[in-house]
Each structure stands twice: as C-alpha cells, then as structure tokens.
C-alpha cells in the first residue's frame, strides 16, 4: 500500500467522523480477492447456492395449526420453517 502521510491522515479523519471512504482507495486498502461493500441501510446474507425467498416459500407447505377460539399463547412443536410459513 503506497499512501502518502497526508492521505493516511485524511483517511483516519474520515474514519473517526464515521464518513464513507472515497471509492478510489478501494484497490489500495483491500486485497483484490476481497469484495468492497458500501455501507447501506439494507443488509442481506449472501452465499453461493442461496435460494430465493419465493422459491423457498413455494416449496414449503404451511403447518396445519389447530387453534382454539380462546387461545392466548400458542406453542408450536415442529419444523420452524413450516410454522413460519403458516404464520406468514
């Protein structure tokens, strides 16, 4: 990494203030194999082979919940994906 002292100080000040770093420092600060991700308000778990939400929901049956008229709390025994699909 070949940053001047002035660039280093500028980056330190930006980090201390919680400001985003300029994009042109991407290749200098991070290795080529690393992914540079901008900070956003939306976060998502991503991995190779991940199925989409509609694909998962379309293949998952809803759990047959039996609810009495006067129930207050509901405890569900079973697969959490089936229960979540029924509640969704």
Per-residue model confidence (pLDDT) at position 63: 78
Per-residue model confidence (pLDDT) at position 13: 92
- The phi and psi torsions of 7 (rounded to 5 degrees) equal -65, -40
* Contact yes or no for 37/29 (Cβ under 8 A): no
Cα–Cα–Cα angle for 62, 63, 69, nearest 5°? 115
Mean pLDDT by 10 residues, the chain (88 residues): 85 90 76 60 85 88 76 77 80
Q: What is the pTM of this model?
A: 0.36
Per-residue model confidence (pLDDT) at position 44: 82
């Amino acid at each position: 990494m070949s940053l001047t002292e002035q660039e280093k100080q500028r980056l330190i000040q930006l980090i201390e203030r919680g400001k985003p770093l300029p994009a042109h420092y991407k290749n200098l600060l991070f290795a080529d194999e690393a992914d540079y991700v901008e900070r956003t308000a939306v976060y998502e778990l991503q991995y190779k082979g991940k199925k989409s939400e509609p694909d998962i929901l379309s293949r998952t049956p809803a759990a047959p919940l039996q609810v009495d008229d006067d129930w207050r709390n509901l405890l569900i025994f079973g697969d959490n994906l089936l229960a979540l699909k029924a509640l969704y």
